[in-house]
Amino acid sequence: MGNQLPSNCHVIASAHYVEPLQAALSGSENVPLVYDALDADAPLDNAIIGDASLVVVEIDTSCSNSLGRISQIRRQRPDLPIIAAIASADVTLVSALLRQGVNDVVSLPFEADELVAQICDISTSAIDSPQPQLAPMTAIVGASGGVGATTVITHLAAALANSDEQSIECCLVDLDMQVGDATQLAGGSAAISVLDLLEGSERLDEDLVRNASMHSSFGFSVLGAPSTITPIEDVQVDELLRMLRLARSAFDHVLLELPGAWTNWSLSAACACDRIILIIDESVTSIRHAKRCLELFEVADIPSDVISIVVNRQNKKLFQAIKPKDIEQTLHREVIGTLPLDKGDLAKAADRNTLIWEENSRSAFGKHIYELAALIAGESGGH
């Protein structure tokens, strides 16, 4: 059986479970397991998760830190096979773990033959049923309220969908559950919201996600926020990540608009993205809020090279006080684009539920949006 095991299968468990297993398999050269002796309530090392082809991880159901290991792994590696190792299991617990994305459950203490057989089965299944390639996912985050993040993301979605270089089927997912109005700015209304999809998660599949999206007249699709104010704590992290994964299977590029108030689930969604674009303006207040966001991302172990800055409403005066280079030096992040201050066309377009190109086809704001879209599409590739 060992010949079927991939390399970098990590067994993460307390030393009193790991050591007997390691001793039992010490003479099996074809069982290339990597052993990580770690207490059940200790945080996982992101480097281990990033390196692993499969993880066997101890879960102590009496400890919240231990239960959070599954969510941590899923945030960093949505498709990584997981075997949960638990000391005592019942049907309810096993079902709950499977709903969280665990592939299988094994009893503690380990039975060496049983564990190797389970790893072989999961590895073989993964080879026979390869995971679909996931589309790039980009989060658009307003550093503070009023910086124009919704305007930017709707125009960016349209620019991606109407690129001259390649045809990109783009989906905008509005996760601003309380005040999100991306659907309205896209010129329509959606019968099914993001929250409706999450509440029906047991029936959720790729076709349902695609059918629930509203296809706008501007060429992109929208999964909209609820039409009524919804308590933001109602969102379950695992259901949300599963829905986003299905959206990435159904479309060529996914854009996320996140709420202004950070929650565990919105931070988990940000962690799952290939790129995070922080929208700021040139005010000291906006830059200060951006710095606080970056500190939060650092605590969440989001790599710094995933995060970049776009300066909205740039006022190109000859002696402007704050320049993009000043912002880069202050925030230690690259400014990948600037969007010029609009003279009123954006407001007119918003009043008519349309985009700026309908008001002014030669708009400087529109030109810069297309340049930003080209940069994102070029760096992320296609579906």
User: Pairing state of beta strands 221-223 and 214-215?
Assistant: antiparallel
**Rounded average pLDDT over 320-341:** 89
Residue type, 224: G
pLDDT for residue 64:
76
Least confident of 96-100, 173-177, 329-333: 96-100
Which of 320 and 168 is assigned the larger pLDDT? 168
SS3 for 102-148, per residue? CCEEEECCCCHHHHHHHHHHHHHHHHHCCCCCCCCEEEEEECCCCCC
Q: What is the DSSP letter of 306?
A: G
Please say if the pLDDT value at position 160 is more than 90: yes
Least confident of 114-123, 277-286, 304-313, 315-324: 315-324
Highest mean pLDDT pick, 96-100, 106-110, 147-151, 321-325: 106-110
Cis check: omega of the bond before 43, within 30 degrees of 0: no
SS3 291: helix
Report, in this order, helix, strand and coil percent for the chain, each rounded to 5: 45, 15, 40
pLDDT for residue 29:
65
pLDDT for residue 73:
87
CATH class of 137-380: alpha beta
CB atoms within 10 A of CB 34: 15
Which of 98 and 148 is assigned the larger pLDDT? 148
CATH 3.40.50.300, the chain: domain bounds: 137-380
Please say if the pLDDT value at position 2 is more than 50: no
Model-level pTM?
0.70
Burial class (CB within 10 angstroms; exposed 0-12, middle 13-18, buried 19+) of 316? exposed
Arithmetic mean of pLDDT over the chain: 85
pLDDT tens, position by position, 60-99: 988 878 888 887 888 778 778 999 999 987 777 777 777 6
CATH fold of 2-128 reads: Rossmann fold (3.40.50)
Which of 133 and 4 is assigned the larger pLDDT? 133
**Rounded average pLDDT over 109-117:** 92
pLDDT tens, position by position, 205-253: 888 899 889 888 899 999 988 888 777 777 888 788 889 989 999 999 9
Least confident of 22-36, 89-103, 153-167, 261-275: 89-103
Contacts within 8 Å (CB) and 24+ apart, 79-82: 79/131, 79/134, 80/49, 80/52, 80/53, 80/54, 80/55, 81/53, 81/54, 81/55, 81/122, 81/123, 81/126, 82/54, 82/55, 82/57
Question: pLDDT-based confidence at 317, cuts 50/70/90?
Answer: low
Contacts within 8 Å (CB) and 24+ apart, 124-131: 124/4, 126/81, 131/79
CB atoms within 10 A of CB 292: 12
**Rounded average pLDDT over 299-314:** 89
CATH 3.40.50.2300, the chain: domain bounds: 2-128
pLDDT for residue 1:
44
Instruction: Match 């259901």 to its residue by tokens.
Output: 239
* Cα 194 from Cα 199, distance rounded (Å): 9
Please say if the pLDDT value at position 258 is more than 70: yes
pLDDT for residue 76:
77
Question: pLDDT-based confidence at 131, cuts 50/70/90?
Answer: low
Share of the chain above pLDDT 90, in %: 41
**Rounded average pLDDT over 55-62:** 91
Radius of gyration of the chain (CA): 23
Q: What value, to the nearest 5°, has the Cα angle with vertex 142 and ends 206 and 50?
A: 55
